[in-house]
Amino acid sequence: MIPVVLVTGAARRIGAAIARALHAEGYRVIIHYHRSMAEANVICRELNDIRADSATAISADLSRVADVKTLAQAAIQYWGRLDALVNNAAAFYPTPFASVNEAQWDALMASNVKGPFFLVQSLAGELRQRGGRVVNIVDINTRYPLMDFSVYCLSKAGLAMATKSLALELAPQVRVNAIAPGAILWPEDNAPMSPEARAALLDAIPLKHLGDVNDIARLAAFLISSPGYLTGQTIAVDGGLGLVGKPVDPGQTTGC
């Protein structure tokens, strides 16, 4: 039987690259999206043109547990199985400490940690049955806090801890690991970054350049498709930035 993977937030950026990489490994891919329907449909057509009946798109609001459960059921039912999950979808925007409000807190925590946690819970029985894999996309700023992004960093730190907790809860049948991207893509309009800040970031990275979405995608494909003795781990893909030993300045993360 052909294995199936669900990738959340797979219509764009890192998620789209992960979907393509796993498709190239022979997986059928369920592309989750929230608002990016047009982009999700483009990727579906692209992948189905390569291999018929190999991709589909499903919409869900991951901040709502009812929607998460519906997504899980639909994902299993579409091809009658689910072998792997990539929790990539995330919200990313600044929350200056003095002005953080409850709505911002709830929204970031819901999309970045509550949704992934309850999605794993909803899929746990199927993943156990298949000897499944889970990959969570976190952030290097769970280790080095990002000024004015405290709630985002807290939410991703929660997902990093969930990786460890779920690896323990789901062992031995399911392996759960995480990837922590560094500077892979420049932030979008909700977290603009000046040319000076971009230059300073590149200068701080030991490898002196941005990473590529395919750096994340290839590692995700390895963690999902390769059997091994690895679970509960977070692997940084940051060009050595974590070796510098200082926080990254505002706007200098991936923004999945």
For the annotated catalytic residues, the residue numbers are: 152
Helix axes 115-130, 150-170, angle to 10 degrees: 20
The DSSP bridge pattern shows strands 28-33 and 4-7 to be parallel
Contacts of 185 (CB under 8 A, 6+ apart): 13, 14, 210, 213, 254, 255
Name which of 11, 246, 46 is nearest 141 in CA terms: 246
Interatomic CA distance for residues 8 and 22, integer angstroms: 13
Q: Are the CB atoms for 84 and 6 separated by under 8 Å?
A: yes
No. of H helices and E strands in the chain? 8, 7
Interatomic CA distance for residues 119 and 110, integer angstroms: 12
